[in-house]
Amino acid sequence: MKSSPRFTRLLWVVLLLAVWEITRRLSSASVLAFPSVAMVAGRLVELLATGLLMRQVAVSLGLISGGLVLAALPAGVLVLVSSRVRWVDSLLETMVTLFHPLPGIALLPVIILWFGIGVEAVMVVIVHSVFWPLITNLRAGREAMPAVYRRVAENLGMSAADSFCRITLPAVTPYLISALRICWARSWRALISAEMVFGAVVAGGGLGWFLHSRRVFMDTTGLFVGLVVIMAVGVFVEDGVFRFVESRTVRRWGMNP
Amino acid sequence: MKHRPGKAEAKPIAGVTLCILLILSCGGDSQEHRRTRRDDAPVLRIAEQFGLAYAPLVLARMRGYVEDELPGYSVEWSRLGNATAIREAMIAGRLDIGFMGIPPFLIGVDRGTPWKVFCALARMPMGLATTRADRSTFADLDDSDRIAVPQPGSIQHILLAMAAERSFADAARFDDRLVTLAHPDATNALLSGAAVTAYFAPPPFLQRLTAEPGVSVILTGDEAFGGPFTFIVGVSASGDHPSELVRYAVVRALDRATEALRDDPTAIDDLAGAFEIPTEELREQLMTEGVEFGGTVRGVGRFVSFMHRVGYLEREHAESMLLIPPAETP
C-alpha cells in the first residue's frame, strides 16, 4: 500500500541510527567529536524547547523562499521572452554557460565588496545559486515540448494567453518542478555557507548561524542537532511540498516525470 | 494489493548491516596500528595561528629552537586559521600543543576536554576600532551596529560582552549583531565602510587601522577586561600529555625566541620576512606599549567567573585545575 515505501525508509533510518550507536560504543573517540544518538536526541528536545531553533529554521526558510521568488520571476520572464526573441535566447545561453559553473561561495569575496554582508548579500548568493539552473531547466522544458502541441493550439484557434496556460505551462511543469527541486537544494547550500561566512544576517540568524555558533562553542551534540534539523526540513519539503505539488499536477495530468 | 512492508528489503538491510560491522571491525584494527607506530618515534605536534602574538613561536619554528631543546623528537608544525580549528584538531588527537585565547580554551574545558594551560605566549594591546564619527564612545553603539570578531566565543567576543555588561547591563547585547570575519577581511570590511561599524582588532591589524584617517579606538582590551590579561596561552592536550619534559622544552624555546627578539637584530629581520612586512614596521609593532611575551598567565580567573556568570560556561572552573604551574628549572 501507500505507506510501504515510507515504512522501508523508516527501517533504513533505524538501521543507520543503530550503526551510528554501535560505532559510538565501539569507538574510543571523544563524545566531543562523536556524540551518541541519545545525546543528540536529548539536545534536540532541549533546543526545540527554547524556541530559538524553530525561529532560526523559520529565518532560513524565509530567506530561501525570498531568494527563490526573486530568482524565479525574472528567470520565468526571461525564458518566456527568449522563446520569442532569438537574441535573448542566445544571450541567456551564453550567460548560463558562463555563470552556472561558478559556485556561490567562490563569489563571496566579490559579493562582500559589492553588497556588504547583510541580507542583500545573502540574497545575491541564493539568487545566483538558483537562477542559472532554473533557466537551464525551463529552457530544456520548452525545447522538450513537442512542436505538435503548439500546432494543435494554433489549429484550435487558441489565444496566446490560452495556449500558454493550457499547453505550454503544463508541458514544462515537470521541468519546473525538477528545477525547483535542484534550486531548493542549492539554495540551502548557498544560505548555509553564506551564513557561516557572514554571521547572523538577521537578528537571531538562521540555521547556518546556528551551526556556526554550535561549532565555535564546541557544542558538537548541538551541531548534530542542526544537521538533523536540516535533513528533517529537507524530507518535509520533499514529501510535503514537491510530492504534493506533483500529485496535484503532473501525476493527475498523466505525465509522470 | 497487500504489500508486506519491509519484507522484500529485509535481505539487503541485513547484508548492509553485516558489511558495516565488518568495516567497523577493520577500522578498530588500523587505529591500534597507528598507535604503536606513533610510540616508536616520538612526535610533537604544535599549531600556531596568524598574528603578531605568535612572533616568538614563529621564530622558534624558523630557528629550530624546540627541536634543539627536545633532542630525539621530531616536531610537526601547523598553522590553522582560528582557535576553533585548533580545538577540533586537538579533539581529533592530531595536536599535542595548541595556542589560543583564554576564552576558547575555557569553552573546550567546559565541554569536558582534559586540556591545561601551561604557558603564556603573549599579552597584546587590543582595540575596538570604528570609522564612524558618531560613535565616539562604546556607549554610543546601538542595535543598528554590527561588530566584527574572528568568532563568537573568541577572546574578542568575550571582551565585547564584558564591556557590554558594564555599559549596557546586558552582556549578550551584541551577540546577535556579530559578524564573523578573519582579521584581514574584518580590516578591509571596516575600512570599506557600510558593512561593519566596529571591529575588535589585535596587532598588527589595530596599528594598520589606526594609521588610517578617520579610524578611532573606542574601547581597549584592558578597559573591557578591567585590567591586564594574557592574550594567547599555550594549551597542552592534557595534564600529562605531552609530558612535563616536553612542555618545559617548549617554554624554554619560547623564552629563547623572546630573548632573541629583544637582543638579536637579525631575529626581527627573519621574522619580518616570515610575516611579509618591512623590518622597521615589525620592530615598531613589537615596541608598542602593551606587547609582552612570556611571563605568567593572567586573567584566567576573571574570564572564568564572567563567562560562567553570563552563561558562556556551564561550570565555574577553579583556576588551579586549569593551569599547570610553571616547571622548576631541573
Residue A49: per-residue pLDDT = 92
Question: Does A20 reside within a domain?
Answer: no
CB nearest A4 (choices: B3, B16, B108): B3
Residue B23: per-residue pLDDT = 64
The C-alpha of A61 sits at a distance from chain B's nearest C-alpha, in angstroms, of 19
In chain B, residues with a C-beta closer than 8 Å to the C-beta of A204 are: 176
Question: Does B10 reside within a domain?
Answer: no
What single-letter amino acid sits at A244?
A: F
B244: domain CATH number is: 3.40.190.10
Question: Does B5 reside within a domain?
Answer: no
Question: Domain range for residue A109?
Answer: 39-248
Q: Is the predicted pLDDT of residue A227 greater than 70, yes or no?
A: yes
* Non-local CB neighbours of A181 within 8 Å, separated by 6+ positions: A238, A242
Residues B182, B256, single domain; the answer is no
Residues B120, B136, single domain; the answer is no
Nearest to B198 by CA among B181, B213, B211: B181
Question: Does A253 reside within a domain?
Answer: no
Q: Give the number of domains in chain A.
A: 1
Question: Does B1 reside within a domain?
Answer: no
Degrees to nearest 5, angle at CA B214 with B212 and B217: 85
Q: Do B9 and A8 touch (CB under 8 A)?
A: yes
The C-alpha of A160 sits at a distance from chain B's nearest C-alpha, in angstroms, of 45
Question: Does B298 reside within a domain?
Answer: yes
Question: Domain range for residue B259?
Answer: 41-124+231-322
In chain B, residues with a C-beta closer than 8 Å to the C-beta of A205 are: 176
CB nearest B152 (choices: A7, A28, A217): A217
The burial class, CB within 10 Å (0-12 / 13-18 / 19+), for B23 is exposed
Residues B248, B313, single domain; the answer is yes
Grid coordinates belonging to A131: 537562477
Give the domain-ending residue among B225, B247, B275: B225
ipTM exceeds 0.90, yes or no: no
State the pLDDT confidence band at A114, using cuts at 50, 70 and 90. confident
The Cα A251–Cα A84 span in angstroms is 29
Q: Is the predicted pLDDT of residue A55 greater than 80, yes or no?
A: yes
Residues B301, B246, single domain; the answer is yes
Q: Check if the beta carbon of residue B159 is closer than 8 Å to that of residue B225.
A: yes
Question: Does B200 reside within a domain?
Answer: yes
Q: Is the predicted pLDDT of residue A162 greater than 70, yes or no?
A: yes
Sign of CA pseudo-dihedral B172, B174, B178, B183: negative
Residue B33: per-residue pLDDT = 39
Q: Give the number of domains in chain B.
A: 2
Q: Is the predicted pLDDT of residue A254 greater than 80, yes or no?
A: no
Residues B218, B133, single domain; the answer is yes
The Cα A100–Cα A92 span in angstroms is 11
Dump pLDDT digits (tens) for B170-221.
Answer: 999 998 888 888 888 888 888 887 678 999 999 889 988 999 999 999 999 9
Dump pLDDT digits (tens) for B267-293.
Answer: 999 999 888 889 999 998 898 889 999
Residues B252, B117, single domain; the answer is yes
Least confident of A125-129, A200-204, B178-182, B221-225: A200-204
What pairing do the DSSP bridges indicate for beta strands B232-236 and B97-100?
antiparallel
Q: Do A199 and B107 touch (CB under 8 A)?
A: no
Residue A200: per-residue pLDDT = 64
Give the domain-ending residue among B189, B208, B225: B225
Question: Does A139 reside within a domain?
Answer: yes
Q: Do A216 and B195 touch (CB under 8 A)?
A: no
Residues B237, B310, single domain; the answer is yes
In chain A, residues with a C-beta closer than 8 Å to the C-beta of B192 are: 113
Q: Do A199 and B179 touch (CB under 8 A)?
A: yes
Q: Check if the beta carbon of residue B158 is closer than 8 Å to that of residue B166.
A: no
Question: Does B84 reside within a domain?
Answer: yes
Give the domain-ending residue among B201, B225, B249: B225
Residues B119, B132, single domain; the answer is no
Residues B150, B214, single domain; the answer is yes
Q: Do A118 and B28 touch (CB under 8 A)?
A: no
In chain B, residues with a C-beta closer than 8 Å to the C-beta of A217 are: 107, 152-153, 312
Q: Is the predicted pLDDT of residue B6 greater than 50, yes or no?
A: no
Residues B237, B100, single domain; the answer is yes
Q: Check if the beta carbon of residue A154 is closer than 8 Å to that of residue A91.
A: no
Residue B188: per-residue pLDDT = 84
